[in-house]
Amino acid sequence: MQPSMAPRTESVRSKRGSIVDAAIDRFGSDGYEHTKWSTIADDVGLGQTALYHYFESKAHCLLTIMRIELTQSLERFRRVTRVADPVEALRLAVHSAYEGTPRDALQRRILQNHVDLLSTPRPWEKEEQERQRSRALVREIEEAWTDLIARGVRSGEFTQRDPLMSARMVLALVVGVWRWYRPGGPHTLDQIGALNADAALRILE
Amino acid sequence: MQPSMAPRTESVRSKRGSIVDAAIDRFGSDGYEHTKWSTIADDVGLGQTALYHYFESKAHCLLTIMRIELTQSLERFRRVTRVADPVEALRLAVHSAYEGTPRDALQRRILQNHVDLLSTPRPWEKEEQERQRSRALVREIEEAWTDLIARGVRSGEFTQRDPLMSARMVLALVVGVWRWYRPGGPHTLDQIGALNADAALRILE
**Nearest CB neighbour to B31, from listed A34, A119, A161:** A119
> By residue range, what is the domain housing residue B194?
58-204
CA distance A77 to B134: 35
Residues B86-101 have pLDDT tens digits of: 999 999 999 999 999 9
Q: In A52-185, which ranges are continuous DSSP H helix?
A: 58-80, 86-96, 102-113, 125-154, 163-180
Compute the C-alpha angle A58/B172/B184, nearest 5°: 80
**pTM greater than 0.80:** yes
The answer on B137 and B95 residing in a single domain is yes
Please give the ipTM for the structure prediction: 0.91
The answer on B156 and B175 residing in a single domain is yes
| pLDDT reading at A8 higher than 60 | no
CA distance B180 to B185: 10
Cβ contact A61:A36 at 8 Å: no
Distances (CA, A) of B134 to A41, A195, B69: 34, 28, 9
CA distance A77 to B102: 35
The answer on B137 and B71 residing in a single domain is yes
Which residue, of A10, A33, A54, is where some domain finishes?
A54
**Nearest CB neighbour to B195, from listed A165, A171, A177:** A165
At B13 the pLDDT is 72
Residue B53 φ/ψ, nearest 5 degrees:
-70, -30
CATH number, domain containing residue A21: 1.10.10.60
Which residue, of A9, A34, A54, is where some domain finishes?
A54
At B9 the pLDDT is 60
CA distance B93 to B42: 38
The answer on B165 and B70 residing in a single domain is yes
CATH number, domain containing residue B152: 1.10.357.10
Angle between helices A8-30 and A102-113 (to 10 degrees): 70
Cβ contact A200:A194 at 8 Å: no
Cα–Cα nearest to A167, from B96, B187, B173: B173
Residues A64-99 have pLDDT tens digits of: 999 999 999 999 999 999 999 999 999 999 999 999
Question: What's the structural domain count of chain A?
Answer: 2
The answer on B192 and B119 residing in a single domain is yes
Asked whether the beta carbons of residue B195 and residue A34 sit closer than 8 angstroms, the reply is: no
CA distance B37 to B133: 23
The answer on B87 and B36 residing in a single domain is no
Residue type (1 letter), A70 = L
The answer on A76 and A14 residing in a single domain is no
Which residue, of B28, B54, B80, is where some domain finishes?
B54
The answer on A87 and A10 residing in a single domain is no
Residues B102-140 have pLDDT tens digits of: 999 999 999 999 999 999 999 999 999 999 999 999 999
Cβ contact A129:A63 at 8 Å: no
The answer on A99 and A48 residing in a single domain is no
Cα–Cα nearest to B192, from A27, A71, A162, A3: A162
At A14 the pLDDT is 84
Over residues A167-171, the mean pLDDT reads: 98
Cβ contact B145:B94 at 8 Å: no
Residue type (1 letter), A83 = V
Percent of chain A with pLDDT over 70: 95
Residues 6+ apart with CB under 8 A from B201: B87, B90, B91
Band the pLDDT of A1: cuts 50, 70, 90.
Answer: very low
The answer on A65 and A38 residing in a single domain is no
The answer on B78 and B142 residing in a single domain is yes
The answer on A14 and A109 residing in a single domain is no
Residues of A with CB under 8 A from a CB of B: 30-34, 113-117, 119-120, 161-162, 165, 168-169, 171-173, 175-177, 179-180, 187, 192, 195-196, 199, 202-203, 205
